[in-house]
Amino acid sequence: MAFQDFDKIQERVNAERKRKFRKRIILGFVSALVVVAAIIGGAFAYVTYGNKTHEQAKTTNNKTKDTPKKSESPSQKPPSSAAQTVKPGQVDKIIQTLCHSTLYKPVCEKTLKNGTKKDTPLSDPRRLLESAIVAVNEDLDRVFKKVLSLKTENKDDKDAIAQCKLLVDEAKEELGTSAKRINDTEVNNFAKVAPYLDSWLSAVMSYQESCVDGFEEGKLKTEIRKNFNSSQVLTSNSLAMIKSLDGYLTSVPKVKTRHLLESRSLAVQTDHTTSWLSKKERRMLKAVDVKALKPNATVAKDGSGKFTTINDALKAMPAKYQGRYIIYVKHGVYDESVIVDKKKANVTMIGDGSQKTIVTGNKSHAKKIQTFLTATFVAQGEGFMAQSMGFRNTAGPEGHQAVAIRVQSDRSVFLNCRFEGYQDTLHAYTHRQYYKSCVIVGTVDFIFGDAAAIFQNCDIFIRKGSPGQKNTVTAQGRVDKFQTTGFVIHNCTIAPNEDLKPAKAQFKSYLGRPWKKHSRTVVMESTIEDVIDPVGWLRWQETDYAVDTLFYAEYKNDGPSGATASRVKWPGFRVIKKEEAMKYTVGPFLQGEWINGIGSPVKFGLYEA
């Protein structure tokens, strides 16, 4: 009986302990809720207080308005130190500062003043750049309506208008992305997004120029160029303002502010976009065993893979795929036109070797196809990577412009690849591109376009073309001096192809010629064989076009034609020193943090000791 009584007492004790334990849990939970509520309430009070203070100031200055205007939520506009410094009287001064370095200052000031009317009072100077980009977008709509209204029965002109529509759509998409991303970071960290804005707006300028270039010389082309002038002026101003705005925001005293969760999440998003490759992706660049990479899709002509064509493998890629999508393309010659479109980001294609896995085609301008559309392979999706692949156009010298590959993928990488063609082999069209240990073969302008591209440790071979033809390695197409584009040939070898060696005396060859007014090409620490004429560079169609506005530079090249004593005496050509050459190495020239930390195989600095 005693033991029975003890058991009952113990049961009550245990029940009491459980009750107290549950009570402590409940109290702890309630306390946590109170703390969270206090934090949220504090954040809400902070924002409310700021808004209330702002509204009280407005009420004091305007006694006639009894109802305060509803303020913007913190998720739309995170608090920032610069936002607190802008006063109505300062707006005109900020506009003058941002427009000071532009090429079209009166247009810039007018655009920004019109923009402030839509966003009054101005609370953040970034809104000025945003309004400038929106103005470009609106003007492009107006311009293209005029282009569509132009009457023509010529098939080539109709094709050019259709191509122009595609390019304008590309431009408008990147303008929209630019306007949206301006406010993605805190004011004091605007420098993080600036390189992306430079890349996107430089591409917008290229798209507009390509639209005009699609038309044959004549009255219609003159009219088209005239129509696009206004949007190109606005784009130029927007590009110039990026650096001015960055400088202005940097000069504003930094004030410690209380950051809400939303602003913190935006900062995290921006950090994510500025990272380039993960450790796994870096290993991928060094990998020898392709199968160990566990590709998402395997392509094989002999049926040993899941797909027999590259296009089928791309079609099977899931929409909005997260992460890097790896396509292994087994040895074989794939005669197909391939487009990795913008919706397919972070695609990697790996072959069995640049002369074993080859994508080939033969479209050419001689077949009445626009040069832009002759590409055998097109890389548009952001973050495209290719390794041990070959890209070829077999139209021959009689095909004239015939592109093997067109690249407009931002932050794209090509490693151990081969590009073969004659005229216009590699169209490095837009955005930031990096080529390592590649082989590029061609005749006239065979590396052309308006990308920010670095070719590092590549072999560049000039081949035998049509009789009487002059060969040019590059034709860089920078239109505006504020574009952050250009070609850098670094630690490469420029030499005659086997078919040209016995006939190189019959074909004069040059490092490049200025396709556009602000053409920019730098050749440094490279070996230049005697296939290149001692003058180095060629005029555009025997005229003085762009010789005073281009930027052609050389630094510490060697080889039989590496000496610069006999180079052209143009105002735009120079032999640069080490300090300036450093600006055209991988980190500074390709802008931002997207390529930082990759390690091998990238060389970040100069090769000299």
Contact 537, 552 (CB under 8 A): yes
Longest CA–CA span in the chain (Å) reads 120
Distance CA 191, CA 195 (A): 7
Distance CA 220, CA 215 (A): 8
User: DSSP assignment of 205-267, as one string?
Assistant: HHHHHHHHHTSPSSHHHHHHHHHHHHHHHHHHHHHHHHHHHHHHHHHSPP---PPPHHHHHHH
Is 184 catalytic? The answer is no
DSSP secondary structure letter of residue 327: E
Q: At which residue do the structure tokens 């001692």 appear?
A: 534
CA 203, chain centre distance (Å): 7
Pick the catalytic residue from 445, 459, 530, 544. Answer: 445
Contact 520, 576 (CB under 8 A): no
Strands of the sheet containing 426-428, edge to edge, are 338-340, 377-379, 405-407, 426-428, 444-449, 471-476, 509-512
How many of the other CB atoms lie within 10 Å of CB of 64?
A: 5
Burial of residue 374 (CB within 10 Å: 0-12, 13-18, 19+) is buried
Write out the two tokens for 331.
């040895």
- Phi/psi-derived region of residue 541, left when phi > 0, alpha when psi is between -120 and 50, beta in every other case: left
User: DSSP assignment of 66-112, as one string?
Assistant: -SPPPPPPTTTS---HHHHH--GGGHHHHHHHHHTT-SSHHHHHHHH
Strand ranges (E), 549-606: 551-555, 573-575
Burial of residue 546 (CB within 10 Å: 0-12, 13-18, 19+) is buried
For the annotated catalytic residues, the residue numbers are 445
